[in-house]
Chain A
């Protein structure tokens, strides 16, 4: 038995907008093979469990229904580790400018 999430919790719902067979005629083959999916966040309108059908009220005040996919979903984007291919650029350029100035002075 999955736990019910309470009304008013910030959640995300997921819907299939178009099935693979319903995609627009102009989409490339790889895109045509997969559904058009939609995710929207909002406050849960009534208690529901993850994976179940649920209703939400969005930030714009609209009532939407879909499969409850995440509870208080995190913002996952960040930076990740520094990229070595970028790390030396500043030093290289400062050295180049310094060498030039030394040459100009001499």
Chain B
């Protein structure tokens, strides 16, 4: 076996990870599955004030909380009498590289610098790459971004092409790969070769960096309206956005705000498929990430994922690609905010959710992202058409990911589809059992951990696990 062959590098993954993150994850183990999650988070030494201080130095955060009165009027037009909550949005596009990912990147890069790493590496095709590159530029660290960027025909996904450009603008080296999960192999090889910091999206730093988002929005709304939000809608992919925002809200005292996760429905498309790669009009915020990561967070590029969305989600909904494009256009033309489509996933859901809430209630959409060439509904729909996808106006629910995108004909056609959280929890427990070795026996600490992970009482967890074991024999 060659020293840098796929098998050889994958066999060294734990050692490479440990070196590149500087966290001994092993020491947090409290059972065969269980680990001390809060201990892992606390050991970073960052509290909310310290995170804010680090972020202030690079002008990250303190983004405006903007009311959307025209979308609220529109929602009230469709809602039953007395209903239609006020909609606010946290304009995260105002961050230095144009998205809330600057919050995650700021703490990661700060930590890399403190620990004396010569550079940072991140495996990301999205906004996080630009955020890391921007922060690394300011910190004077070298930066490598690894992207899954084009299919076997050489066709680049336009949103990722824009991210390539942005990362290069910030002086980063960008490794552009064709489709496949072996990106992780290239990533590990680079970490080993360079000795750079693994600026994973899933370290405690990258998740704690988002806590300021939840904290700020709660404070801003309270200062303005003397209330905390009734609901906060979060675009949900790998789980960091939900986890960090929810933790920040709790820290601010907004313990009754409902956390609603929203993803774009990409069911039926395979995330590792070369054929499907350019048949997705969204590169993040979709079910291709959110379902696997919610039902098993520890599939990330660090041994223990600090993003554990199921601990915080009160409700989980999906919307269609067509609905997000529609609301993106509405946001531009009714509110004068032209923002990137993927970040508007939560806005599409919030527009529907607001209609079921009373007029005096408030729903906050917790992010926007910058828009521009490639990163735009027009660019995505033109690519979709080129790939043979049908685009038309009609009932958005008739759209089929990879085959058709149906843009609503009227706002009342926007709807959310519920993701059954009990099924998600069941699936989580199934995956937890699958991760066990034959000789492992669950301890009391494991049951308590699983209960915290799924927000179920320990007795229910035990019953569900017994049932699952019974099924698999």
* Interchain CA distance A35-B178 in the complex, whole Å: 8
Whole-angstrom distance from the CB of B466 to the nearest CB of chain A?
30
Contact of A97 among B73, B332, B392 (CB under 8 A): B73
Which chain A residues (9-65) contact chain B, with CB distance < 8 Å? 17-18, 22-24, 26-28, 30-31, 33-42, 58-62
* Interchain CA distance A90-B241 in the complex, whole Å: 30
Q: Which residues of A contact B382 (CB under 8 A)?
A: 79-81, 83
Given contacts A35-B178, A38-B176, A78-B379, contact A89 B326 (CB under 8 A): yes
Contact of B178 among A34, A76, A97, A100 (CB under 8 A): A34
A-B contact count (CB 8 A): 162
Whole-angstrom distance from the CB of A62 to the nearest CB of chain B?
7
Judging by beta carbons under 8 Å apart, are A31 and B393 in contact?
A: no
Contact of B378 among A35, A41, A82, A100 (CB under 8 A): A82
Whole-angstrom distance from the CB of B319 to the nearest CB of chain A?
16
Given contacts A27-B181, A60-B172, A78-B379, contact A93 B272 (CB under 8 A): no
* Any A CB within 8 A of the CB of B77: yes
Which chain B residues (311-370) contact chain A, with CB distance < 8 Å? 325-326, 329-330, 332-334
Whole-angstrom distance from the CB of B414 to the nearest CB of chain A?
12
Q: Which residues of B contact A85 (CB under 8 A)?
A: 381, 391-393, 407
Given contacts A17-B177, A62-B173, A97-B73, contact A30 B273 (CB under 8 A): yes
* Any A CB within 8 A of the CB of B254: no
Judging by beta carbons under 8 Å apart, are B378 and A86 in contact?
A: yes
Contact of B274 among A31, A42, A81, A92 (CB under 8 A): A31
Judging by beta carbons under 8 Å apart, are B334 and A78 in contact?
A: no
* Any A CB within 8 A of the CB of B292: no
Judging by beta carbons under 8 Å apart, are B172 and A89 in contact?
A: no
* Interchain CA distance A82-B378 in the complex, whole Å: 6
* Interface residues contributed by chain A, number (CB under 8 Å): 44
* Interchain CA distance A77-B185 in the complex, whole Å: 28
* Interchain CA distance A15-B349 in the complex, whole Å: 42
* Any A CB within 8 A of the CB of B460: no
Which residue of A is nearest B378, CB measured? A79
Given contacts A34-B274, A89-B330, A97-B74, contact A78 B381 (CB under 8 A): no
Contact of B176 among A33, A39, A77 (CB under 8 A): A39
Q: Which residues of A contact B185 (CB under 8 A)?
A: 17-18, 24
* Any A CB within 8 A of the CB of B443: no
Contact of B180 among A31, A78, A82, A86 (CB under 8 A): A31
* Any A CB within 8 A of the CB of B421: no
* Interchain CA distance A89-B177 in the complex, whole Å: 37
Given contacts A26-B181, A30-B273, contact A90 B174 (CB under 8 A): no
Given contacts A31-B272, A36-B177, A77-B156, contact A61 B330 (CB under 8 A): no
Judging by beta carbons under 8 Å apart, are B171 and A37 in contact?
A: no
* Interchain CA distance A2-B165 in the complex, whole Å: 29
Contacts A28-B272, A36-B178, A37-B178 aside, 13 further interface pairs with beta carbons under 8 A come to A22-B6, A35-B178, A40-B174, A40-B175, A60-B143, A60-B194, A79-B373, A79-B378, A81-B378, A82-B378, A85-B391, A85-B407, A89-B333
What is the interface of chain A, defined by CB distance below 8 A to chain B? 17-18, 22-24, 26-28, 30-31, 33-42, 58-62, 75-83, 85-86, 89-90, 92-94, 96-97, 100
